[in-house]
Amino acid sequence: MYYVYLLKSLIDGKYYVGHTDNLKQRLERHNKGFVVATRDRRPLVLLGEEYFNFRSEARFREYTLKNNTNERIKFYRKIDKNFIK
Return the CATH number of the domain spanning residue range 2-79.
3.40.1440
Q: What pLDDT, on a 0 to 100 scale, did the predictor assign at position 85?
A: 66
Q: What pLDDT, on a 0 to 100 scale, did the predictor assign at position 40?
A: 97
Domain boundaries, the chain: 2-79
How do residues 27-75 score in pLDDT, each as one tens digit?
999 999 999 999 999 999 999 999 999 999 999 999 999 999 999 999 9
Eight-class DSSP state of 11: T
Q: pTM for this structure?
A: 0.91
pLDDT band with cut points at 50, 70 and 90 for residue 15: very high
DSSP string, 18-76: EEES-HHHHHHHHHHT--GGGGGG-SEEEEEEEEESSHHHHHHHHHHHHH-HHHHHHHH
